[in-house]
Structure 1
Amino acid sequence: MAATGPQVSLTDLPDLSQKQMAFHDSTWFRTHGLDKSLPRPDQVRARCPASDPLRPRSVVKFEEFELAVKFGKHVTTYEAVCLRTVKQMLSNKVPVPEVYGWMVDDKQSICGHLRLIFQALRSARQDPSMQFIGSLSNGPSRDRVLDLQRSSGPWPTVARFHNWLSWLWRRHAPGPDAIADLWRQLLNDSSPIVLTHGDVHQSNIIVSATSPAHLLAIIDWEQSGWYPTYWEYCKTVHTVAEYDEWRSARWIDSVFTPHPDAEEAFDLYTGAIGP
């Protein structure tokens, strides 16, 4: 017996690759007008409470527009296409919400561009005859994590820099040399020395105000210099709270290669060195 029921035509499905889609035949556009626009990703983020890493998706209400926007790292256009197809073909049998459209957050493309930029920055190398950790011109470190220290470089080797960090947090204790440092082994003395921005905070990343957003500039290079390859990642994580989406949604990890061992040591040292 031949199967009966609506037939799904692949050619009629919305294009999943589109970053923006508006279904003008939907109830919302028929009610509010075809000239109306759905909320942009930045408007959705502005209404969202601080991101919770245990809740990778959320719903934000725009009551003035009679809209509920589902968003998050794991929300996909595929789900929207499925909902629209079921609504159109089986709405009298399968109750599902109506989809009015979608917008793909530009943050992923921005992070991809940032990764390429910092890969290019890392390609710069020091003169092999003069390796050091410190400012660009072989001066003391200008990193604010370290600038309260009297002896802030430059250091002639990565190992000397790591030994200095290890000594800092123990120096005020009685008999500091007798205190075992279990974190020192987490820092790789063979780490390459690379050109480092030193303050890759969201406020220092300038993107266009128009959509689709694109990266315009990276500013505030006053802490830049030559540091071990893990330093940029650790500093970037250090500048934001754990609940911040830049960190909790792992956007930082999509820009820089994570260094969990170095991060553990970095957190201990920077939290304990003090003035």
Structure 2
Amino acid sequence: MEFSHNLQMHALPQASPYIIRRFWGIIHKRLLKFSKFYCHWSGAQFSNQIMQLPFGLVLKWSDGTRVEEVLAMEAARKAGMPVPCVICYGEHPDSPHALVSILMTRLPGHELGTVYETLDAAEQETILQEMDAYISSMRKWKSPWGEQRICSLSGTSIRSVRVPFHSMGPFDTEDQMNDYLLYPQGYHESYYDNEPDFLNLKKRVDVLFSDKHDIVYTHGDLKHHNIMVHDGHVSGFIDWESAGWYPEYWDFTTALRYQDEGFWWYDFVVKLGGHRYLVYKEAERALTSLTVDSYAW
């Protein structure tokens, strides 16, 4: 897919009927078995979450994959982003932790994290500019659910590994989201043993929660392993399971909160726009300390 500067969101994609998803779910179960045979025959490594198939296809069937991820992928691809083409997606009501499987095209290239330091300065700058265009453009998308609602593309709950119980919302206001993010603080009982430490963590979190933010469309999992590069350009922006409308800081502080400042990815994210939210880094770390026990699967 060629790089485009016209990255506007089109009409919201609609989910296929449930009976169609059930049909494809049955087919995908057969493809899982076929992938084992194919990988053994071809020498490819088999994964029970991202299954390799011939003809440039992969089958994703992993914990937390939902219809919302499919719709986010379709919206991003229609907007001109380098996202896999969804062939079909199946539903599996008998598999509660992996309800949906997605058959999609395989993108060329390698994960940015594995090749970044082998790229020359011009290629690194090109990739930065392309990612900036993708992220900046989708942050301008207008939500059909209202300017303050925090939700998935389709208006439903958001899935994220960095929120309590890996799911939140939808919320009508940012304050509602803040309350939800903080309510598991009592689970981390060790902090109650030293009240000054607990109060200090709460004070640090208040730096983030006392500000009001624009709600913007967000990938939700901005990591270097979710960016594919090929021939000096971004060839893939993948893993949209956490996408939705979030407070503007979300992607950047999620990527930076525990990142070593000496690592190239830290500087990359700062240049992408993370510099505007560095003031929240300690608040994010404090929030994690207060609520980490709620992040279990």
TM-score (norm 1): 0.54
- What amino acid is the match of 2:174? V
**Count, aligned residues:** 173
Partner of 2:214: 192
Change in 2 beyond 3 A, CA 1:242/1:169: farther
1:117 aligns with 2:120: no
Give the superposition deviation at 1:219.
Answer: 0.8
Q: List aligned pairs for 1:34-183, cutoff 5 A.
A: 45=117, 104-127=121-144, 129=146, 131-146=148-163, 148=165, 152-170=168-186, 173=189, 180=199, 181-183=202-204
Going by fraction, where is helix more abundant, 1 or 2? 2
Change in 2 beyond 3 A, CA 1:113/1:136: same
Cα offsets for 1:122-158 (capped at 9, x unmatched): 0012236473223222222201111526x72222101
- What amino acid is the match of 1:169? Q
- What amino acid is the match of 1:195? Y
- What amino acid is the match of 1:205? I
CA contact (8 A) 1:143 1:223 kept: yes
- What amino acid is the match of 1:220? D
Give the gaps of 5 or more residues in structure 2.
1-113, 193-197
- What amino acid is the match of 1:206? M
Secondary structure in structure 1 of the residue aligned to 2:246: strand
Partner of 1:237: 256
The whole-number CA distance in structure 2 between the counterparts of 1:238 and 1:146 is 14
Partner of 1:228: 247
The whole-number CA distance in structure 1 between the counterparts of 2:121 and 2:289 is 38
- What amino acid is the match of 1:193? I
The whole-number CA distance in structure 2 between the counterparts of 1:120 and 1:44 is 24
TM-score (norm 2): 0.50
Change in 2 beyond 3 A, CA 1:107/1:162: same
Give the gaps of 5 or more residues in structure 1.
1-41, 47-70, 72-102
CA contact (8 A) 1:134 1:142 kept: no
The whole-number CA distance in structure 1 between the counterparts of 2:248 and 2:147 is 17
CA contact (8 A) 1:112 1:254 kept: no
Secondary structure in structure 2 of the residue aligned to 1:182: helix
Change in 2 beyond 3 A, CA 1:113/1:261: same
Match of 2:286 among 262, 268, 273: 268
Cα offsets for 1:175-232 (capped at 9, x unmatched): xxxx752134312542011111011211111111x3xx11122111111111100001
The whole-number CA distance in structure 2 between the counterparts of 1:131 and 1:184 is 21
The whole-number CA distance in structure 2 between the counterparts of 1:267 and 1:207 is 30
Query: How much is the aligned-residue C-alpha RMSD, in angstroms?
Result: 3.3
Larger Rg: 1
Give the superposition deviation at 1:120.
Answer: 0.2
Cα offsets for 1:54-108 (capped at 9, x unmatched): xxxxxxxxxxxxxxxxx9xxxxxxxxxxxxxxxxxxxxxxxxxxxxxxx535112
CA contact (8 A) 1:198 1:224 kept: yes
Which segments of structure 1 move beyond 6 Å, counting only runs of 4 or more?
Answer: none
Percent identity for Structure 1 against Structure 2: 24
The whole-number CA distance in structure 1 between the counterparts of 2:206 and 2:259 is 26
